[in-house]
Amino acid sequence: MLEASVPNPYSPAPLAKNPDDRGKQDPEETMSRDQIEALQTERLRWSLHHAYENAPGYKEHFDAHGVHPSDFKALEDLAKFPYTDKEFLRKNYPFKAFAATGSELRRIHASSGTTGQPTVVGYTDDDLATWATLVARCFRAGGIRPGDKVHNAYGYGLFTGGLGAHYGAERLGAAVIPMSGGQTEKQVQLLTDFEPSAILSTPTYLLTIADGFKKMGLDPRTSSLKTAILGAEPWTEEMRREIEQAFDLDALDIYGLSEVMGPGVAGESVETKDGSHIWEDHFRPEIIDPLTDEVLETGRPGELVFTSLTKQALPIIRYRTHDLTRLLPGTSHPGHRRMGRITGRSDDMIILRGVNLFPSQIEELALKEPALSPHFTLEITRPDRMDQMAVNIERRDHATLEEAQACAAHLQKEIKIKIGSSCTINVVDPETLARSSGKLKRIYDLRDKD
Ligand code: DLL
């Protein structure tokens, strides 16, 4: 079933028997740009053939667009192939985009899906080994080492965060505490008693855990944590500073999405802290203009698109992520390009009286206000057919209401000047807005209901 007319040039490296060896870089991490591009060309040839010959959904899609894998000869030929997106996966629900559905299939994950039908993704043994290897690579780049204790607060289950991070940490030779999300008091207790050096969590849930420490009369800065590897939702440099100061640790980014693999598609190095390197020995990224679909050159902002080079069960060809960012040259891993921070998802963009804005822009400005906390929601309504946005934001524990109101007035002006939107700001008491135990919902768009 997994045979394609072009032989597979890749099989994952076996797990190093000696845990200390798991702390070493993979040979692909140190490849030059030229070596990476040669590898991508060879692997893409296989991946396109594999998708076409083994996944009926891809055969139909390529045929409908009049392309065949043999049209791919060099990297630039990738642009001849059609894009795919969530809609493509929905159309092929559950398994028609899979290239392995028999006994080779080892695991299935699914996204929650707001519209009822989840997005289903699958893995073979080799896919799981590759996934763990890449997550381990992210953790190592972030400063975690074999022998470290790692507290995993990503949710376990169909979400790829929990199990993806779990097996990556084990592959690195760390000891995992599989806590999952929620039960904040218990999180604090285990963090205090087991003294892990690293935590894996969403950035907003780590803030909730920081509050949990304080509620129990403990100072998060005295915890054993030295490293936090954070992802699954957009976050800003201001949020990094907030978290690093709250816990006295290094906070690093990890990026990924279920369709492409899960966490570990890209990860950030502690030495440079300058954005996540995309592991280009396994994924070929492109940035496109989301409106014209045109491919943009490295450096220009647009929508991130991925093609998998080695995935077996669910190949991903030119998958539109809706994530908005840009590609930058590699630094700590010069052969692999970095991604800028995700400014938002094109489907998270709020269009407020013609002005486009993302929650991360509000986060960036709000965190500059000393009396306002990072806990906020955005509520959009349309009274009298005019869009209105209210920012509901908690004041900080130590701030008085007057101080918070003054900061809110300043924030309102800053939002007007820097983003171009008028809004109202409601300062609320600490601990009054809903907390998440994973990905936080910030936007409450009530416009349809008006
Ligand atoms: O969130 C995988 C993951 C788990 C990544 C744990 C990192 C850590 P999905 O549930 O499919 O998968 O959601 C993927 O989350 O398209 C982005 O919009 C967003 N996202 C993920 N990581 C980041 C990040 C997981 N580091 C969607 N920065 C993606 C910003 C992120 N957004």
Give the tens place of pLDDT for each residue, 202-251.
999 999 999 999 999 999 999 999 999 999 999 999 999 999 999 999 99
**Which residue do the tokens 């920081």 mark?**
210
Interval between CA 233 and ligand 1 midpoint (Å): 5
Q: What is the pLDDT of residue 345?
A: 87
Domain borders along the chain are: 1-347, 350-449
Ligand 1: atom nearest CA of 229 is: 8
CA dihedral 241, 328, 440, 207 (to 10 degrees): -20
For range 309-316, the mean pLDDT? 98
Q: Which residues contact 261 (CB under 8 A, 6 or more apart)?
A: 127, 130, 131, 134, 160, 164, 282, 283, 308, 311
State the DSSP string of 218-254: --GGGSS--EEEEESS---HHHHHHHHHHHTSEEEEE
Q: What is the pLDDT of residue 113?
A: 62
Ligand 1 lined by 257 (C-beta under 6 Å): yes
Q: DSSP 3-state assignment of 206?
A: helix
pLDDT digits (tens, 9 = 90+) for 24-80: 999 999 999 999 999 999 999 999 999 999 999 999 999 999 999 999 999 999 999
Report the mean per-residue pLDDT for the chain: 95
What superfamily would CATH give domain 350-449? Answer: ANL, C-terminal domain (3.30.300.30)
Ligand 1: atom nearest CA of 154 is: 6
Tell how many helices (H) and how many strands (E) occur in the chain: 10, 22
Which tokens sit at 49? 């053939």
Minimal-distance CA residue to ligand 1 atom 9: 257
Ligand 1: atom nearest CA of 112 is: 10
pLDDT digits (tens, 9 = 90+) for 254-282: 999 999 999 999 999 999 999 999 999 99
Interval between CA 136 and ligand 1 midpoint (Å): 17
Q: What is the pLDDT of residue 19?
A: 85
Interval between CA 413 and ligand 1 midpoint (Å): 31
pLDDT at residue 181 greater than cutoff 50: yes
Q: Given pLDDT bands bounded at 50, 70 and 90, which one contains residue 449? A: low
According to DSSP, residue 49 is labeled H
Listed residue (203, 243, 253) closest to 220, CA to CA: 243
For range 436-442, the mean pLDDT? 91
Domain 1-347, architecture per CATH: 3-Layer(aba) Sandwich (3.40)
Minimal-distance CA residue to ligand 1 atom 1: 232
Q: Given pLDDT bands bounded at 50, 70 and 90, which one contains residue 176? A: very high
Listed residue (220, 204, 225) closest to 151, CA to CA: 225
Ligand 1 lined by 256 (C-beta under 6 Å): yes
Listed residue (98, 102, 76) closest to 88, CA to CA: 98
**Which residue do the tokens 């990738």 mark?**
78
Q: What is the pLDDT of residue 101?
A: 92
Interval between CA 71 and ligand 1 midpoint (Å): 32
Give the mutation target among 150, 257, 319, 349 for probing the ligand 1 site: most ligand atoms within 8 A of CB.
Answer: 257
Ligand 1 lined by 363 (C-beta under 6 Å): no
Q: DSSP 3-state assignment of 363?
A: helix
Ligand 1 lined by 231 (C-beta under 6 Å): yes
Q: What is the pLDDT of residue 384?
A: 87
Interval between CA 154 and ligand 1 midpoint (Å): 11
Interval between CA 186 and ligand 1 midpoint (Å): 25
Q: Given pLDDT bands bounded at 50, 70 and 90, which one contains residue 354? A: confident
Give the mutation target among 259, 323, 326, 358 for probing the ligand 1 site: most ligand atoms within 8 A of CB.
Answer: 323
Ligand 1 lined by 160 (C-beta under 6 Å): yes
Ligand 1 lined by 346 (C-beta under 6 Å): no
pLDDT at residue 353 greater than cutoff 90: no
Ligand 1 lined by 232 (C-beta under 6 Å): yes
pLDDT digits (tens, 9 = 90+) for 380-434: 999 988 999 999 999 999 999 999 999 999 999 999 999 999 999 999 999 999 9
Ligand 1 lined by 358 (C-beta under 6 Å): no
pLDDT at residue 163 greater than cutoff 70: yes
Minimal-distance CA residue to ligand 1 atom 21: 232
Ligand 1: atom nearest CA of 159 is: 10
pLDDT at residue 450 greater than cutoff 50: no
Interval between CA 257 and ligand 1 midpoint (Å): 5
Inter-residue contact 187 to 153 (CB < 8 Å): yes
pLDDT digits (tens, 9 = 90+) for 93-115: 999 999 999 999 999 999 876 55
Q: What is the pLDDT of residue 115?
A: 59
pLDDT over 70, % of the chain: 98
Interval between CA 111 and ligand 1 midpoint (Å): 11
